[in-house]
Chain A
Amino acid sequence: MSEAEQEDDAALDRALIERWRSGDERAATTLVERHAAALARFAIRLGMREEADELVQDTFIRAFGALESFRSESSLRTWLFTIERRLVIDRRRASARRGKDVEVGDEHAASGYDALDALVADETSRRMAKAIGGLTRMQREVFSLRVQEGRSYKEIAEVLDTSEGAARVHYHNAMRAVKEFLDD
């Protein structure tokens, strides 16, 4: 999607939000249709395949509850990714407290890419999925947002609550790690 297309996309989201704010509930349906699939994929990439549907729903509920405060400084999708990622973090913390999830550190994080192995018939793609699955959580999130979702470093920084420079460094480290894995 080119920059112009992204701008059109953002303008359409803003118009839909405005319609919803003025009482048009059908605008909500269109907004959900536009972003639900990307949110579901992002949830899976964050290692939440089982809870993806629930996470998508909770993300929209939380987003629409705060839509009055959305100022369109970032794209709606970036904002939704931010909300969804925070929900994922909250769930992981809750699971860790209950002792259900022993994954505390960034390394060896569960990855949606592991589950892709069986689905990817092509050897190159299968190896790529494995390479991405071997990244640290932060690297994987940055790589996924940059490569698969086409987000800018600025948007990635917003979603991951980090700086633009740090997002760039994580991306290049991730790319180097993927290349090294594929070279082996």
Chain B
Amino acid sequence: MTDCPNAEVRDLLPDLAGNALAPVEAARVQAHVDGCADCTQELVLLRTARALRPQIGPIDVARIVAQLPRPVAQARRLAPARVSRSVWRMAAAIGVIIAGGWSVVLVRSGGLPMMGNSRGDTAQLVDVVVPPTATSTTVASSPSTTSVAITARASAVTVSFGDLGDYTDEELQRVLDRLDKWDGATSAEAMSTPPILSSPRGGALE
């Protein structure tokens, strides 16, 4: 068995044997093969070799697929959700612990200083002395002035951290209404009656 000198056609014989050539090219190569004994023999040989297919048993596709990694898009979709859920769970747990601990501390300490409460805790607040008028620049250090100022302020502020049982339903509802309206930011508005800090000697601090 000899080799045909036409290397270009010989290179294409495996494709002709496998019907992998475009029709025009297949016709051209076939035309050469028809007139060439070497290429005819080689084509027969290639078709015989091509027909030699190893016997394979049935392939368990499901078993293979079951072991494949997940698509990345799906994995990406799942992963953040898992992280997010656990983070939220942890955050909620920490929040509950802090709130519970804070409540216990408040209860044990008898509550935070309250404005307008009925237990006479007002005195704890009286480091801030409010002058009787907004335009006044004089030092207002008399107890009566202080008392009036605080009373006036107490009537405006009803938020309390003390025992909720001390309040009527109406008061509690008012607190909730105010919390609903609260924007969470410290008010930047100037007070109509700026507070004057009192010094230990009774004078005002600027």
Q: A residues near B, CB below 8 A?
A: 1-4, 6, 20-25, 28-29, 32-33, 36-37, 40-41, 44-45, 49, 52-53, 56-57, 60-61, 64-65, 68, 112-113, 115-116, 119-120, 124-125, 128-129, 132, 143, 146-148, 150, 168, 172, 175-176, 178-179, 182-183
* Total cross-chain contacts (CB, 8 A): 121
Chain A residues within an 8 Å CB radius of B77: 23
What's the least CB distance linking B174 to chain A, in Å?
53
Residue of B nearest to A19 (CB): B71
From the candidates B1, B56, B60, B73, name the one contacting A37 in the complex (CB within 8 A): B56
From the candidates B10, B42, B46, B56, name the one contacting A41 in the complex (CB within 8 A): B56
B74 at the interface (CB under 8 A from A): yes
From the candidates B45, B56, B63, B69, name the one contacting A40 in the complex (CB within 8 A): B56
B187 at the interface (CB under 8 A from A): no
What's the least CB distance linking B85 to chain A, in Å?
20
Residue of B nearest to A180 (CB): B1
From the candidates A2, A20, A150, A176, name the one contacting B71 in the complex (CB within 8 A): A20
Given contacts A36-B64, A148-B50, A148-B53, contact A21 B17 (CB under 8 A): no
Q: Are A116's CB and B52's CB within 8 A?
A: yes
Q: Are B59's CB and A40's CB within 8 A?
A: yes
What's the least CB distance linking A158 to chain B, in Å?
17
Q: Are A148's CB and B63's CB within 8 A?
A: no
Interface residue total, chain B, C-beta cutoff 8 A:
42
Q: Are A129's CB and B45's CB within 8 A?
A: no
Task: Choose among B45, B56, B73 the residue with the greatest number of A CB atoms under 10 Å from its CB.
Answer: B56
Q: Are A168's CB and B61's CB within 8 A?
A: no
What's the least CB distance linking A116 to chain B, in Å?
6
B15 at the interface (CB under 8 A from A): yes
Chain A residues within an 8 Å CB radius of B69: 61, 64-65
Q: Are A128's CB and B71's CB within 8 A?
A: no
Within 8 A of A (CB), among B17-48: 17-23, 42, 45-46, 48
Q: Are B65's CB and A1's CB within 8 A?
A: no
Q: B residues near A, CB below 8 A?
A: 1, 3, 10-11, 14-15, 17-23, 42, 45-46, 48-57, 59-65, 67-74, 77
A–B pairs, 23, beta carbons within 8 Å: A1-B20, A2-B20, A2-B21, A3-B20, A21-B72, A23-B71, A28-B68, A28-B71, A40-B56, A40-B59, A41-B54, A41-B56, A45-B54, A57-B67, A113-B52, A128-B48, A147-B14, A147-B49, A175-B3, A179-B1, A179-B3, A182-B1, A182-B45
Given contacts A25-B70, A125-B48, A150-B15, contact A175 B42 (CB under 8 A): yes
What's the least CB distance linking A10 to chain B, in Å?
13
Given contacts A29-B65, A147-B49, A182-B45, contact A2 B56 (CB under 8 A): no
Chain B residues within an 8 Å CB radius of A53: 57, 59-60
Per the bound structure, the CA–CA distance linking A14 and B51 in Å amounts to 29
Q: Are A112's CB and B54's CB within 8 A?
A: yes
Question: 15 extra interchain contacts, Cβ-Cβ under 8 A, other than A1-B20, A65-B69, A175-B3?
Answer: A1-B18, A29-B62, A36-B64, A37-B59, A41-B56, A57-B63, A61-B69, A64-B68, A68-B72, A125-B48, A147-B46, A175-B42, A178-B49, A179-B1, A179-B3
